[in-house]
Amino acid sequence: MSDDAHADRGYRILVASVPVFIVTYFLLAGFQPLFGFGSGAEKYLLYHWYVFTYVPSHEEVTYDAFVIERAGKPIAPVPLTDSDDLLFDEWRNRPYYTERIRRLGDAIVRQSERVESDRAAIEHHVTHGPITYEVREIRYDPIRKFFAGDILSARTVATFETH
């Protein structure tokens, strides 16, 4: 094969690599979670950028954790993420904890095996002494809650004591 033909072949491979990259990235990163296969979680370096795909409804369900006892003494319930009991590095941790608590509540309601691992992930960051906390299911209209802080209903789905 002459040098020119070799170079031309290399160039054609380079040109073809662009559509090949598009299809490969889509199949590896995007296709599975979008169409219900796989875990849906973003794979490291193959992020699918599926953000804000879910439009909240006027009746949302979320979960929050409230500290109700410190060192065996009852206290007025305080959200775990607003308390001094969690190790907060920076504001970036807040969504992390919020999501962890939401996952824990979801696992409790679904009676999933994930409960213990999700619990451990949260309690790993509790810095001060033993606490007792409730996980509550909260139903709310985002717009009403945004302006007036109203919620539709709340119920305790589990109570845990840190080790």
Partner 1 sequence: MDIRKFVQWVNSKTINYPQAIEEYARDTRAVERAMSVVPYLFFFLLFTAFSATAQWFSRPPFSSALFDPRITIFWAGYVSFDTAVHIACGLFLVGSCMGSLFFNRRWARALAFFGLFQYHAFMSSFGAPEHNLLVFVYPLLFCIFLPDIWRKKETTQLERKKFLVGFIGIQVYIGLIYSLAGLSKLVRGTQALVHGTANFLAPDAFALHIANWLPSTGGDSLFGPFIVAHPYVGWPLFLGMLYFQFFTLVAVFRPALHWMWGVFLISFYILNYFTMNIFYVDTFFLIAALFLNSPFEKGFTWRERCGAMPLIGLLFRRTR
Write out the binding residues for partner 1, residues 90-109 only, by CB under 8 A: 90-96, 98
Contact between 15 and partner 1 (CB under 8 A)? yes
* Closer Cβ to partner 1, 87 or 154, answer by number: 87
Burial of 152 (0-12, 13-18, 19+ CB in 10 A): middle
Reduce the DSSP state of residue 98 to 3 states and report it: helix
Contact between 57 and partner 1 (CB under 8 A)? yes
Q: How many CA atoms lie within 13 A of 158 on its CB side?
A: 20
Contact between 58 and partner 1 (CB under 8 A)? yes
Q: Transcribe 7-24 into DSSP letters.
A: HHHHHHHHHHHHHHHHHH
* Closer Cβ to partner 1, 62 or 132, answer by number: 62
User: Rounded distance, CA 137 to CA 156, Å?
Assistant: 6
> What is the smallest separation between the CB atom of 111 and partner 1, expressed in angstroms?
24
- Kindly state the helix (H) or strand (E) to which residue 93 belongs, with its residue range: helix 93-109
Contact between 55 and partner 1 (CB under 8 A)? yes
Q: Which residues bind partner 1 (CB under 8 A)?
A: 7-8, 11, 14-15, 17-18, 21-22, 25-26, 29-30, 34-35, 42, 44-45, 47-58, 60, 87, 89-96, 98, 124-125, 142-143, 145-147
